[in-house]
């Protein structure tokens, strides 16, 4: 019986490695409050750390949200000129 369990576990592990990881949608939140001065477009490929939105400050536009992972922007939830607050969702990225 133990041999069958080992064979089953081995087969299950092999299947898990053979199946590609599914894409996940990740919400990207603002780290600053302010008036949006620029925002990324839908279907834009992004790399981790890339600026998704900027807000106006006393020294000019500053990054309000950056991509947490590589992927493609599937939704943009803010528009230029909109007032946002810290933790508002700015965009959604589909990761690979």
CATH number of 39's domain: 2.40.50.100
Task: Give per-residue pLDDT as tens, 19-78.
Answer: 456 779 999 999 999 999 999 999 999 999 999 999 999 899 999 999 999 999 999 999
User: In this predicted structure, what is the pLDDT of residue 79?
Assistant: 97
| 5 assigned to some structural domain | no
Count the neighbouring beta carbons within 10 Å of the beta carbon of residue 92.
17
Q: Is residue 3 part of a domain?
A: no
- State the Cα angle at 66 between 86 and 78, rounded to 5°: 60
* 75 lies in some domain: yes
Q: Is the pLDDT of residue 12 over 90?
A: no
Return the pLDDT at 62: 97
Residue 68 included in any domain: yes
Give residue 48's domain range: 21-95
Give the number of domains in the chain. Answer: 1
DSSP 8-state assignment for residue 87: T
pTM of the predicted structure, to 2 decimals: 0.75
55: Cα separation from own chain's centroid: 19
The pLDDT value recorded for residue 19 is 46
């Amino acid at each position: 019986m133990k041999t069958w369990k080992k064979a089953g576990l081995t087969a299950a592990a092999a299947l898990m490695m053979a199946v590609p990881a599914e894409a996940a949608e990740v919400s990207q939140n603002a780290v600053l409050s302010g008036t949006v001065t620029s925002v990324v477009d839908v279907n834009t490929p992004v790399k981790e750390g890339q600026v998704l939105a900027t807000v106006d400050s006393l020294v000019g536009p500053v990054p309000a949200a950056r991509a947490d992972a590589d992927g493609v922007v599937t939704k943009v939830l803010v528009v230029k000129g909109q007032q946002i607050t810290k933790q508002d969702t700015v965009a959604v990225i589909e990761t690979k």
